[in-house]
Chain A
């Protein structure tokens, strides 16, 4: 378990960032305290990621893209299912984190873990099916075979909602990665302690390093760097600050990043549609 707990000398886990499959501290050496819910008791010191951490994470996510998007859909599916298994295995740690830092009841905490597991399983099951659902063979006039398939957009930056919602977070990450995208996730300060068990789920699910990168830090400080980064292909903004949304849209114009707003919180097809690009291929039919 992660938290410091007064006189109890149980070894507390240091919560670090998750970048490229490793657990580095922020290069900036900065941290911010997370308190036990409704108290001034420090639960943990989280890394306050810097602009440079964002850039490192984006570079690594870009490098991981070709490998991840060319994995078979079945393999991505297996890895997502593995995440569900690992989440179940770490249920107690997730629950402890939610109870301690967010003041959830046991029931609420278990409910949040259930939602996350459901989301992992849902998208594990979708990874090799959405192509058939949203792709098409097109009946063009003339002797051509013509088909449209969805592909990964690329590196997706995810700015999390200030209202921590574990089910939504996992829905987002699973939907983004099931189609072959890689992700750089900036957790909101609220609930950021979940980074520790969640990163360990990813680290133990046969997920290649760099496919999912988790950062904790200050949204106000970092969102701009994610929105303006030229190697970010798509940005999903779940935070509802209108100033942040407007700035994200403005910055996204530089390289015409896809901006995803109001993506559904619950698992569903729309969450996949929001993070794919359609490619149409023509080939003549003839001798």
Chain B
């Protein structure tokens, strides 16, 4: 997406107008092969769905159809769960833990080897900038498998003095914002602990999960250990409600998380939920302001704001609010929105037409309510595909919808505060509790704030950092349990 971006909307006194022209730097799609029609990966085989129904997966960058996916029905789910059960009781549990680990290491290595291919496919199916899928998502996927591979034969160190055993068959349902990374977060710890899984990727972003199925096949993982079924809500519900599933792991919205929690009430199924957030990014007046601006931009506009832990509320100390907002606006004018496959792109495509409509609706309502709105005027959007300018609302009341509801898009709500106590109170004034950011040059203030914030992940003088060894997950309505690190294994084991 070649476009002209003016570095400044308004010329300041003494400055001359200057314009950057970016030549397109499109990543090649040569190495990606997409099957026109995709099957289900059950019991180590690619198999047709029993319903015979398919649905389309779209490239959000241009709205064009990429492929057709099988809509798995209850019968397909049952086949997948049976295959997982058989593998759990047979081949997988008979393997020495060391051997389990070997398979996971091998998967990690193949992902590294095929990383560019996977990254391009991820960007095509999801709409995220290639620089993110290439430099963040896929390296993290490989790292995640690599990290948990090493745990497979060390589970006796997990719980001091106690042995652990796997739970059995895990049904795993993942979202569309980090498609393959979420698959890795789910599959790697489950397999390392000796479980077998049925994974259902999101209906708009299943292609890399299916590619992972190929990689798992290539790695020689025994049939049935990992089963991948595609479909939408009904397929997920069939998986959640299958009587022979021992554990459900879900990442997605709080709304759906609650539906899943309710549907497991009369069962002994274990449940972990990674749900929504409305995370606060606190900037104290003694912060390194330019770095904080970068962090706020990264916090909310990374991955088009399709991030459960997005720093969607900015709490800035009143004394620096004006200068901070000015700097933020200036920075936003240089964000490049456009073709996700362009290596220059900072903000890619919104994942689907439905999401775009939802986000636009929330923005329109807030504008109608008279809340001060900003978007970089000079930024242009591609004609085709699903795009949105990064934007913010300033001086937002705590009761405003855009301050309370998870928008899951590039929309920031800005509030001010006068004291650390007020910042903490406002940050904690949410039903969620996933993440928070703190910017200050004073260590004691950072620690005090970090201790008082009710959130599972605190980024101090940084934001949106992730690592396989670092536990991730939220307080309150942001979910149950942690993923990543040693703590991420706990939901996948029984303690003896």
Contact = CB atoms under 8 A, between A and B. Distances in A.
Interface of A: 70, 133, 136, 138-142, 144, 146, 148, 233, 246, 249-250, 252-253, 255-256, 258, 269-270, 273, 277-284
B480 A258 contact: yes
Contact of B456 (A133, A256, A269, A280): A280
A256 B471 contact: no
A134 B325 CA distance: 41
Given A139-B469, A141-B143, A283-B446, A277 B475 contact: yes
The 7 closest A-B pairs by CB, nearest first: A140-B467, A249-B265, A283-B460, A138-B469, A281-B458, A253-B261, A256-B477
A282 B438 CA distance: 10
B476 A233 contact: yes
8 contacts: A249-B261, A253-B261, A255-B431, A256-B257, A256-B275, A277-B456, A280-B472, A283-B461
Nearest to B447: A281
A270 B493 CA distance: 13
B258 A253 contact: yes
Given A144-B465, A148-B470, A281 B450 contact: yes
The SS class assigned to the B binding surface is mixed
Contacts of A250: 262, 265
Given A250-B262, A250-B265, A256-B257, A280 B471 contact: yes
B54 interface: no
Interface of B: 143, 159-160, 254, 257-258, 261-262, 264-266, 273, 275, 431, 446, 450-451, 455-462, 465, 467, 469-473, 475-477, 479-480, 482, 485-487, 490, 495
B257 A279 contact: no
A179 to B, nearest CB: 14
A142 B460 contact: no
Given A136-B487, A250-B265, A256-B258, A280 B480 contact: no
Contact of B470 (A253, A282, A284): A282
A146 B470 contact: yes
A284 B431 CA distance: 28
Contacts of B159: 269
Given A273-B490, A278-B487, A283-B446, 19 more contacts: A136-B486, A138-B469, A138-B471, A140-B470, A144-B462, A144-B465, A148-B485, A148-B487, A233-B476, A253-B258, A256-B476, A256-B479, A270-B495, A280-B456, A281-B450, A282-B460, A282-B462, A283-B461, A283-B462
Nearest to A150: B487
Nearest to A145: B460
A284 B160 contact: no
A282 B477 contact: no
B237 to A, nearest CB: 16
A279 B465 contact: no
Given A138-B471, A253-B262, A284-B461, A279 B455 contact: yes
Contacts of B431: 255
A40 B265 CA distance: 40
Contacts of B479: 256
A269 B457 CA distance: 23
